[in-house]
Amino acid sequence: MKALNKTSLFLLLVFIISFSTAGIYKLLGGTGTGTIGFTIFGAAYMFLPAICVLIVEKLVHKEKIKTRLLLSFKLNRWFIVAWLFMPLVSFATLGISLLFPEINYNHEMTGLLERLATILSPEEIEKAKLSLQALPISYLWIVLFQGLFAGITINALFAFGEELGWRGFLLRQFRQMSFIKASLTIGFIWGIWHAPMILMGHNYPQHPEIGVLMMIVFCILITPFHLYITIKAKSVIAAAILHGTLNATAAISIIGISGGNDLNSGVTGLPGFIVMCVFIIILFFYDRFIGKDKILTSQISNFI
Answer yes or no: is 60 within a domain. no
**What is residue 140's predicted lDDT score, i.e. its pLDDT?**
85
Answer yes or no: is 292 within a domain. yes
Answer yes or no: is 32 within a domain. no
**What is residue 259's predicted lDDT score, i.e. its pLDDT?**
87
**What is residue 107's predicted lDDT score, i.e. its pLDDT?**
76
Q: How many domains does the chain have?
A: 1
pTM: 0.93
What dihedral do alpha carbons 161, 238, 301, 184 form, nearest 10°? 70
Answer yes or no: is 193 within a domain. yes
**What is residue 248's predicted lDDT score, i.e. its pLDDT?**
96
**What is residue 43's predicted lDDT score, i.e. its pLDDT?**
96
- The whole domain housing 96 covers 68-302
Under a CB-based contact definition with an 8 Å cutoff, are residues 28 and 187 in contact?
Answer: no
| pLDDT tens, residue by residue, 163-183 | 999 999 999 999 999 999 999
Q: Counting every residue, how long is the chain?
A: 304
Answer yes or no: is 54 within a domain. no
Answer yes or no: is 290 within a domain. yes
Under a CB-based contact definition with an 8 Å cutoff, are residues 150 and 242 in contact?
Answer: no
What percent of the chain is modeled with pLDDT above 70?
90
Answer yes or no: is 84 within a domain. yes
In our burial notation (b when 16+ CB lie closer than 10 A, e otherwise), range 208-217 reads beebbebbbb
Answer yes or no: is 170 within a domain. yes
How far apart are the C-alpha atoms of 300 and 304, rounded to whole Å? Answer: 7
How far apart are the C-alpha atoms of 267 and 273, rounded to whole Å? Answer: 7
**What is residue 271's predicted lDDT score, i.e. its pLDDT?**
97
Under a CB-based contact definition with an 8 Å cutoff, are residues 171 and 300 in contact?
Answer: yes
How far apart are the C-alpha atoms of 133 and 130, rounded to whole Å? Answer: 5
- Residues in the chain with pLDDT < 70? 1-4, 109-126, 128-130, 132, 134
**What is residue 2's predicted lDDT score, i.e. its pLDDT?**
52
How far apart are the C-alpha atoms of 134 and 127, rounded to whole Å? Answer: 11
**What is residue 242's predicted lDDT score, i.e. its pLDDT?**
98
- What is the CB neighbour count within 10 angstroms for residue 258? 16
